[in-house]
Structure 1
Amino acid sequence: MGSNGDGPLAGRVAVVTGAGRRAGIGFAIARDLLAAGASVLVQSWTPHDDEQPWGSDPAGIDGVLEALGGTGPRLAYLAADFAAPETPGRVVQYAVETFGAIDVLVANHARSSLQGLGELTAAELDMCWAVNARASALLAQEFAAVHDDARPGGRIVLFTSGQHLGPMRREIPYAISKGAIQQMTLTLADALADRGITVNTVNPGPVDTGWADEELTAKVVGALPFGRWGAPDDVARLVRWLVSDEGRWITGQVINSEGGFRRWAM
């Protein structure tokens, strides 16, 4: 990335949530936005990754930040837990305090949850709702409250999953909360359209971030016509385009970027 912030996003400030692993989508997005010249605040919450089968990044968050070029004039970091209702405001305010403004919000974070109907608990439903759906809506609210409409390129990108295209019976709390993000997209876009701020949601489809076991990896590959899972870079390119000037006419859309995923073939 250019140390002086040259590129199509030079001078703009982005927040990218869920960027705690080098193998993850958030890392790829942050790297692309930095390469395009933006200043970026990345957020992560390592305790969540520690609880998952794939674990946190072996190099720790310091290794993640080093791979992004190290914190400095154009890269900042905040550890923050979106289970707390005040966290969205804290993240947005930290970006403004650090860089002086905020132009782009990429709410990529997610709480994963493997609960089918038999294992379903109220606690997990509440936690997935809080982290995935509530935090995304509150991040959009906080972004809108501080965004300077005289600055160009007001952009919000949210993330859903494929629950609107096929069932996710083993991940009910996750699917329900991600479905809420899909449904809020058009309404948030309409609320902010008069201010020139776009709101879109990405469904990245099956992306290889190290979470799937061998059996699932092979099964899904059989339903992907290109013969491979999606890569974090595939998602990052789409996000970079959406938040650039070239994406200014797109708003209120849920974009399924799945490489032709054939659910019926699984």
Structure 2
Amino acid sequence: MSTSPPLHGKTALVTGVSRRRGIGFAVATKLASLGANVAIHHHGPHDLDLPWGGDDIDAVRAEVRAHLTEGAQFADVPADLSDPSTVPDLIAAAAGLAGGLDVLVCNHAKSGNDGSILDMTPERLSAFWEVNTRSTLLLTAEFARLRAPRTDEPRRPGDRITGNAPYAEAQGHVFWMTSGQIHGAMRGEVAYATSKAALAGVTATVAAELLELGIVLNTINPGPVNTGYMDPDTTDRSFENFNQYLASTPFGRVGTPGDPAELIGWLATPAGSWVVGQVLTSDGGFAL
């Protein structure tokens, strides 16, 4: 007897899917293999400004499509998420793919052109905040409005959102991405770490509100994952003595994009829906 894949009939939007070596690409292909309709977002100009460069977006599209199960649909939407006006259209495009939107993975991020506390400027801080934090919150808000009762009344501190609980199953899943700032210093990445720390810090607050609508939010810290920035010819930092240190660790390697993708894939299924409002580290024990 054949059974449908766990995400059959569901639609997922994964942001930041512009490079086949990236976490977003691994997540998109994983969700596709689980049966989901998949919409990807990308913003190639950001990658072209970084040492590891961009990718062939046609090849990215083709490989995500190749992981779709029978009958599943695909779409891709380019957008610069530093512009908040792009957010509603992105959510609408994904929701229009198959008549609804069930999974939102906010994987996009601004990186590069950071610095130490001595290098901070209003412009640098704002640039990271706008892409990494503000757009993630705005995407989540648009996703939640798809299921929220309409009201013009502002909610006061402490007010609960009114949903239709109890729910037989999760009504949607949202995933945010944080970084290693929750476990230790990230020298020279003050603006990036600040923008990611905000997401980790507000996870419980937003998760509690979304849960009133049956939506499950979790935040993932993928740990050190080599998406190209650890390669000697495309790195933007020093890795002196890193290989020697790596050899001393129990697994002897850093993460691959598939490691956090497997976690997100499981959490997005009914089997993972009991995990709610957590900041989860998937790093092979590096934080230890």
Normalised by the length of structure 2, the TM-score is 0.84
8 Å CA contact 1:103, 1:147 repeated in 2: no
Separation in 2, partners of 1:239, 1:93? 23
Q: Does 1:20 align with 2:18?
A: yes
8 Å CA contact 2:115, 2:188 repeated in 1: yes
What is the CA deviation profile of residues 194-246 of structure 1, one whole-angstrom value per residue up to 9, with x for unaligned ones?
A: 22111100000000111124352526625642100101111110000111101
| Equivalent in 253, 259, 262 of residue 284 of structure 2 | 259
What is the CA deviation profile of residues 118-159 of structure 1, one whole-angstrom value per residue up to 9, with x for unaligned ones?
A: 322221110100000001111110000113888854100100
| Equivalent in 30, 33, 47 of residue 32 of structure 1 | 30
Structure-1 residue corresponding to 2:111: 112
Structure-1 residue corresponding to 2:45: 47
Structure having the larger proportion of residues in helix:
1
Separation in 1, partners of 2:262, 2:248? 23
Structure-1 residue corresponding to 2:255: 230
Say which is worse superposed, 70-79 or 90-99, in terms of deviation: 70-79
Q: Secondary structure at the match of 2:285?
A: coil
8 Å CA contact 1:147, 1:154 repeated in 2: no
Say which is worse superposed, 118-127 or 77-86, in terms of deviation: 118-127
8 Å CA contact 2:40, 2:77 repeated in 1: yes
Separation in 2, partners of 1:123, 1:224? 39
Q: Secondary structure at the match of 2:181?
A: coil
Taking a change above 3 Å as real, the CA distance of residues 219 and 172 of structure 1, as seen in their structure-2 partners, is farther
Structure-1 residue corresponding to 2:96: 97
Structure-2 residue corresponding to 1:68: 64
8 Å CA contact 1:164, 1:179 repeated in 2: yes
CA RMSD in angstroms, aligned pairs only: 2.1
Taking a change above 3 Å as real, the CA distance of residues 160 and 220 of structure 1, as seen in their structure-2 partners, is farther
Normalised by the length of structure 1, the TM-score is 0.90
- Aligned positions, number: 257
Q: Secondary structure at the match of 2:129?
A: helix
Larger Rg: 2
Q: Amino acid of the residue matched to residue 52 of structure 2?
A: W
8 Å CA contact 1:104, 1:153 repeated in 2: no
Separation in 2, partners of 1:262, 1:125? 26
8 Å CA contact 1:153, 1:245 repeated in 2: no
Separation in 2, partners of 1:53, 1:79? 21
8 Å CA contact 2:73, 2:97 repeated in 1: no
Structure-1 residue corresponding to 2:122: 122
Taking a change above 3 Å as real, the CA distance of residues 15 and 124 of structure 1, as seen in their structure-2 partners, is same
Shift of 1:193: 1.1
What is the CA deviation profile of residues 36-82 of structure 1, one whole-angstrom value per residue up to 9, with x for unaligned ones?
A: 0000110010000000110001xx11111011126995111000111
Structure-2 residue corresponding to 1:82: 81
Q: Amino acid of the residue matched to residue 119 of structure 1?
A: D
Q: Amino acid of the residue matched to residue 25 of structure 2?
A: F
Separation in 1, partners of 2:247, 2:85? 43
Taking a change above 3 Å as real, the CA distance of residues 199 and 183 of structure 1, as seen in their structure-2 partners, is same
Separation in 1, partners of 2:214, 2:88? 21
Q: Amino acid of the residue matched to residue 252 of structure 2?
A: G
Separation in 1, partners of 2:244, 2:18? 27
8 Å CA contact 1:6, 1:36 repeated in 2: no
Unaligned segments of structure 2, at least 5 residues? 149-163, 233-237
Structure-2 residue corresponding to 1:180: 198
8 Å CA contact 1:224, 1:262 repeated in 2: no
Say which is worse superposed, 241-250 or 115-124, in terms of deviation: 115-124
